[in-house]
Amino acid sequence: MDSEKDILLLYNPKAGDTFFRFEIERFLETFGETHSTIRIYRSESPGDMAKCLSRIRMEELGLIVVAGGDGTVNEVLQAMMERQATVPVGVIPAGTSNDVAHYLGMPTDYSQCIEVISRLNITKMNVGEVNGRYFLNRCGYGNLVSIYHSTSQEMKNTFGRLAYYANGMRTVPKTQPFRLKITTPDQVIEDEFIMFLVVNGEGAQIENRAFAVQAEDQKEGLQFIGIKNGSNLANRIMLMKSIRKLPKNQKSIVRFSADEFKIELPDNEILNDGSVIDGELGPTPPFTYKLHREALHVITNP
């Protein structure tokens, strides 16, 4: 890495087990060998990292490292995409939900992760967009998907992933169906659903805590996976299954891939919980989705 360019560490002290703060010295030791100037920014509240990145001169940076969960990574992503920045980004999984870091192959051990990032294996990653908001992993809608946003920070810090599972179990009986009109360049789909997810199809596997899917090759674009409404019993069975692993070949599941499409709720019945983007509260319908190919430079662990 060019030693004339700085390294920026952004970290969320409230994320996950909050233990990353004890690894900062190790971070300094590892990246000090590059002879680059290291800047450290500690966020105090949501939005702080975006403000930091809006003020900084990107041409002075050779690397940005983000320590936090999916919500923290998503905040940085918004700022990077708005500035069309190409500075490589490394992700340290310091949150409760670390889907993006897991997809990038990052170890859960902080010291190992710092070592992997220092190797600077850079690749270009597709980025999804919905109603002007960007996402690396997924955007979903429906009662079960909302467990990400509705699970308290205290529960997440205490029980980790089990907090999402427990909250999801309570959510299943409250499932509300809704009609969708989905318009793609190739087809129009109108049906009643109980939930859907749009996944950034980045190849291999992206493990989603609300329900698990296997993404297809990234050439396939954004992937829509929706569960159609059925009887109360059928809905409960499908939702219970989806907490662990979403079945691939069932008539109650709709799948397609596209670079752009629009989703409307003809009945205008918007759920109170709204949508969820990478674990954070997202926009309300109608939804307009778009894929930006190879838009973000990220550090991966091959």
The tens digit of pLDDT for each residue in 247-282 reads 565 778 899 999 999 999 987 666 656 788 887 788
267 shares a domain with 192: yes
User: Tokens at residue 170, please?
Assistant: 């309570």
In a domain, 126, yes or no: no
206 shares a domain with 269: yes
For residues 235-246, average pLDDT: 60
**What pLDDT was estimated at residue 171?**
55
> pTM for the complete prediction?
0.80
For residues 278-298, average pLDDT: 90
168 shares a domain with 64: no
In a domain, 128, yes or no: no
3-state secondary structure 125-183: EEEEEECCEEECCEEEEECCCCHHHHCCHHHHHHHCHHHHHHHHHHHHHHCCCEEEEEE
Q: Residues with Cβ < 8 Å from 168, sequence gap 6 or more?
A: 144, 147, 210, 239, 243
Residue 134 has pLDDT above 70, yes or no: yes
Say which residue, 245 or 229, is predicted with more confidence.
229
3-class SS at 263? strand
In a domain, 43, yes or no: yes
Last residue in a domain, options 120, 154, 173: 120
**What pLDDT was estimated at residue 217?**
43
Range of the domain at 167: 133-291
Say which residue, 289 or 72, is predicted with more confidence.
289
Q: Residues with Cβ < 8 Å from 297, sequence gap 6 or more?
A: 86, 87, 88, 89, 122, 123, 124, 125
109 shares a domain with 153: no
188 shares a domain with 68: no
pLDDT class of 3 with cuts at 50, 70, 90: confident
Residue 157 has pLDDT above 50, yes or no: no
Q: Which amino acid is at 104?
A: L
pLDDT class of 223 with cuts at 50, 70, 90: very high
- Axis crossing angle, helix 232-244 with helix 161-171, rounded to the nearest 10: 180
In a domain, 55, yes or no: yes
Based on the number of CB atoms within 10 Å of its own CB, is 173 exposed (0-12), middle (13-18) or buried (19 or more)?
A: exposed
Residue among 9, 225, 195, 279 nearest 117 (CA): 9
**What pLDDT was estimated at residue 99?**
78
In a domain, 19, yes or no: yes
In a domain, 300, yes or no: no
Last residue in a domain, options 120, 152, 169: 120
173 shares a domain with 87: no
Pair 244, 212: CB distance under 8 Å? yes
Based on the number of CB atoms within 10 Å of its own CB, is 65 exposed (0-12), middle (13-18) or buried (19 or more)?
A: buried
**What pLDDT was estimated at residue 111?**
94
**What pLDDT was estimated at residue 206?**
37
154 shares a domain with 95: no
Residue among 245, 275, 298 nearest 85 (CA): 298
277 shares a domain with 222: yes
Note the maximum CA span of the chain: 63
Share of the chain above pLDDT 70, in %: 74
Residue 42 has pLDDT above 70, yes or no: yes
Share of the chain above pLDDT 90, in %: 46
59 shares a domain with 20: yes
Number of domains in the chain: 2
User: Looking at residue 11, which CATH number applies to its domain?
Assistant: 3.40.50.10330
Is the bond preceding 286 in cis, omega lying within 30 degrees of 0?
Answer: yes
137 shares a domain with 112: no
Last residue in a domain, options 120, 152, 186: 120
Per-residue pLDDT reduced to its tens digit, 63-122: 999 999 888 899 999 999 999 999 999 999 998 778 788 878 899 999 999 999 999 999
In a domain, 28, yes or no: yes
**What pLDDT was estimated at residue 158?**
43
**What pLDDT was estimated at residue 97?**
76
Average pLDDT along the chain? 81
Q: Which amino acid is at 76?
A: V
104 shares a domain with 242: no
Neighbouring-strand partners of residue 291: 128
* Chain centre to alpha carbon of residue 119: 24
90 shares a domain with 53: yes
Per-residue pLDDT reduced to its tens digit, 168-212: 555 555 667 889 999 999 999 999 998 898 988 653 333 333 334
pLDDT class of 16 with cuts at 50, 70, 90: confident
